[in-house]
A = this chain, B = another copy of it.
Amino acid sequence: MNRIFNKADYMVEDMLKGFLEANKDIVAPTENPRVLKYKQAPIPGKTGVVTGGGSGHKPAFIGYIGMNLCDAVAAGEIFSSPTAAAFLDAFKAADAGNGVACLYGNYAGDNMNVRIAVRKAKALGITVKTVVANDDCASAPKDQAEKRRGVAGEILMWKVGGAKAAMGADLDQVIAAAQKAIDNTRSVGIGTAPCTIPAVGHPNFIIEDGTMEVGIGHHGEPGIKIEPLKSADGIAEEMLDLILPDLPYVSGDEVVVLLSGLGATPVMEQYIVYKKAAQILEDRGISVYKSYVGNYFTSLDMMGVTLTLMKLDEELKECIDLPVNAVGLKQF
C-alpha cells in the first residue's frame, strides 16, 4: 500500500486540522473537534442545515459546508457514522433559533445516531427535522425504498435544502424541498477497483481485475451483479438502464446530472462516460438543465463512477441555480 498518512488512528483528526487550516475563509472549528461549521453559522433568521457521515468520501461531507449550503457537518471515522454527540453538536452549531434540517444518508449507524441526537436536541429546545437520502436505486427494490442507501444524490439534496434555507424558507419548507429533491433523485454506482482503508492495509472487498461491480455502494457494499468490464459507453448505458425506469425519467423531463468519480478513476474517464450519458438522455428527450462531472463524492481510492439524476421543477431549478461557495462545490 502506497498511501500517505501518519498514524492510521489519527487520520481523521489530522485531516480535519489540515482542512480547517487550508479553508479558513469558509469553515471554522467548533468545540467538538469532529464538528466543523460555516464560519458565518449560525446565521440569524436562517433555518440551519446540517449533514454528517463517515470520512473518506471527500469532498463529502465537510466540503459541502459553505455559503448557501450546509451550516455544520459532523464527521465520523473512515466509513463510519459520526457519533450522536457529534450530530448534536452540529445541530447546536447550526441553530439560530429557527430549527435545523438534518439531511443525511440512509445507513444504520447514521439513522441511530441522528435519532438520539434529535431527541437530545429537543430536550435543549432545538427543533430538528430530518430527510434521509435513499437515492441508490441499485441497493434495494423500488418497493423497499426505505432500505435504499443514500449516495451522491445527497449532494443535490444539500444543494436544494441549503438554497431553500438561504432564500428564507422555514424549517418545514426546507424539509419539504429537500425531501422533494431526494424523491426526484436516483443514483447508481459501478466499481472497477476496490479501495483500501489505511488502518486495514488491504482492500476489504474484491473487484477482480477486468471486471466491474454494478450497483456497488460507497463503502464497497455489494452491488447487484459482477460483469466483465464494459466500455465507457457500455457503463453509461448500464447505469441509465437502471436509473431511467426507476423514477421513471421520461421524455420532456429536465434533469440535473451528477457524474462523480469514486476516487482513483481519472476525471478524463468520467468525461468520456458523461459524453455517452448526455447522448442517451438527448436521444430519450430528457433535457440536461445542469451537469456536474468530477470527484464530488468519493470512496478513498476506489475506482469507478456514480451517476445521479434529479428531475426538476421550477422550485428545484431555482435552488440549483443559487450560487454556492463551499470547498467542494463552487458555483457563481
Q: Interface on A for B, CB 8 Å cutoff?
A: 1-6, 11, 14-19, 21-23, 55-56, 58-59, 192-193, 207, 209-212, 229, 231-233, 235, 259, 263-275, 278, 291-293, 295, 298, 300-301, 303-305, 325, 330-332
Whether A231 contacts B264 in the complex (CB less than 8 A), given A274-B22, A278-B18, comes out as: no
Given A21-B274, A232-B4 in contact, is the A266-B266 Cβ separation under 8 Å? Answer: no
Bound together, the chains give a CA A11 to CA B266 distance in angstroms of 12
Does the CB pair A271–B231 fall under 8 Å?
no
Pairwise interchain contact B263-A4, C-beta atoms closer than 8 A: no
Whether A264 contacts B192 by the Cβ 8 Å rule is: no
Contacts of A278 in B (CB 8 A): 18, 21-22
Q: Which of B4, B17, B18, B229 contacts A192 (CB 8 A)?
A: B4
With A4-B305, A264-B264 known to touch, is A274 a contact of B232 (CB < 8 Å)? no
Contact B55 A22 (CB under 8 A): no
Please give me the residue from chain B that is nearest to A229 by CB atom: B2
Q: Is the pair B3, A233 in contact by a Cβ cutoff of 8 Å?
A: no
What are the residues of chain B within 8 A of A267 when measuring CB–CB? 58-59, 295, 298
CA distance A232 to B6 in the complex (A): 5
Chain B residues with Cβ under 8 A from A19's Cβ? 271, 293
Between A and B, 6 residue pairs with Cβ closer than 8 Å are A2-B209, A3-B269, A19-B293, A21-B278, A56-B266, A301-B303
Cβ of A294 to closest chain B Cβ, rounded Å: 8
Q: Closest residue to A195 on the B side, CB-wise?
A: B266
How far in angstroms is the closest Cβ of chain B from A26?
A: 10
**Chain B positions within 8 Å of A21 at CB level:** 274-275, 278, 291
Residues of chain B lying within 8 A (CB to CB) of residue A271 = 14-16, 18-19, 22
Cβ contacts under 8 Å, A273 to chain B: 4, 18
> A18's contact among B293, B298, B304, by CB below 8 Å, is which?
B293
Residues of B within 8 A of A16 (CB): 271
Smallest CB gap from A300: residue in B: B266
> In the complex, what's the smallest C-beta–C-beta distance from A298 to chain B, in angstroms?
7
Complex alpha-carbon distance, A267 and B1, angstroms:
16
Q: Which of the listed residues A6, A16, A18, A266 has the most CB atoms from chain B within 10 Å of its own CB?
A: A266
Kindly state the separation between the CA atoms of A233 and B232 in the bound complex, as whole angstroms: 38
**Which chain B residues lie closer than 8 Å to A263 at the CB level?**
264, 266
Check A301 against B264 for contact (C-beta < 8 Å).
yes
Q: For the complex formed, measure the closest distance between the CB of A332 and the CB atoms of chain B, giving whole angstroms.
A: 5
CB pair B231–A2 under 8 Å, yes or no, is no
Q: How far is the CB of A110 from chain B (nearest CB, A)?
A: 19
